Amino acid sequence: GEWEGFVAVVNKKISAQFGELVTKSKELISLLPWPKEFEKDKFLKPDFTSLDVISFAGSGVPAGINIPNYDEIRQSEGFKNVSLGNVLAAAYGGGASERLSFIKDEDQELYKALVSKSFEVQVGLHELLGHGSGKLFIRDENGSLNVSGGLVCPVTKKRIEELPNYSSNEAYDTKFPVISSSYEECRAECVGMYLSTVAEALAVFGHKEAEDQNNITYINWLHMARAGLMALQYYTPGKGWGQAHMQARYGILQVFLRAGEGLVTLRKCTDDKDGKPNIEISLDKTKIHTVGKDAVGDFLMRLQVYKSTGNFEAAKAMYDEFTEPNEEFKALRGTVLDRRSPRKLMVQANTYIDQSGQVNLKTYPATPEGMIQSFQERYN
């Protein structure tokens, strides 16, 4: 872990949009694929703000933040969300001239045009309705559970009282060692994927026409499939995963592939531009709302049920099954590594006060030299 801090200004227009998402949150959460008993007794509406970052101090700059990270506090006291809008724009801005890896030629133009907008939708749903949803079943000091008696688990078919659940002094992070961070990110990502098929959710982000909604959903799912494949960069045979979000996205790619019926296919090929081994991702747009939503919904329901009931043993067995690459994907990892792009560097601006007392913003070239100069002048 590390300390981090940032300075930002509120984007009032986008924040108003997120405010509408908060208003509709109870309605949208009711659409999630688990029984109502597995949802919080009362959704504590959070603050959800869009910020444009002036300066972010830390080893990396996230696209969104949900705080606090403690489920027991989120369940009883509430939480806050922020979306870092200009980080999204910088990281996923469209119009890139280079050909993007693993995306078919016929999808390149649409992907570049909409990936930033689709990821804005994903981040909003992920942070607010992903991390903000779901209930933990906790026994108090007298052994009573915070759920009505007689409830049957939809996965194990056992009565909830027979499952591990949580004692009053247990937390999710300690109950789910090793996988807690990645598992929770996977759950939140799946909430985003699932709800990105819902017209009412897309309309909140300004996507109100049917064609626009279908395109946003398509690119969001295609982006997740690509992210899952590219995640193999962060997997080392014999050591495991080096990044929680990447393990989660690889797992979601496996959900897509195992859904079958041609929802997502990966085609090994030789690139006609450079003659090197390549992989092409195909996503059947017509099956997202049926085959895809059903598969993600079933996986998401199991993620939530195991988390709610504190069933670490079952959760880990399932999660390992979906996130441990088999020999086929270990072989594909070589192609992914060969085609990885240099890691993007976030060059941040600085503010300064001129001789007249006015505050000015100074930007720097998008180069390693520009990043170093920015750091020098920020901390000098």
b/e map 223-236, b = 16+ CB within 10 Å: bbbbbbbbbbbbbe
With residue 361 as reference, give the H or E element that holds it: strand 359-362
CA 125, CA 201: separation in Å to the nearest integer? 8
Q: Among all residues, which ones are annotated catalytic?
A: 127
CA 296, CA 38: separation in Å to the nearest integer? 17
Nearby residues of 171 by Cβ (< 8 Å), 6 or more positions away: 70, 71, 72
Q: Under a CB-based contact definition with an 8 Å cutoff, are residues 316 and 179 in contact?
A: yes
In the DSSP assignment, the letter for residue 230 is H
CA 212, CA 292: separation in Å to the nearest integer? 19
In the DSSP assignment, the letter for residue 146 is S
Q: Partners of 282 in the beta sheet?
A: 265
Strand order in the sheet with 64-67: 5-10, 47-57, 80-84, 64-67
SS3 assignment, position 268: strand
Residue type, 281: I
Among 84, 81, 11, CA closest to 46: 81
How many residues in the chain? 380
In the DSSP assignment, the letter for residue 147 is S
SS3 assignment, position 185: helix
Q: Under a CB-based contact definition with an 8 Å cutoff, are residues 75 and 40 in contact?
A: yes
Tokens standing for 147?
A: 């759920």
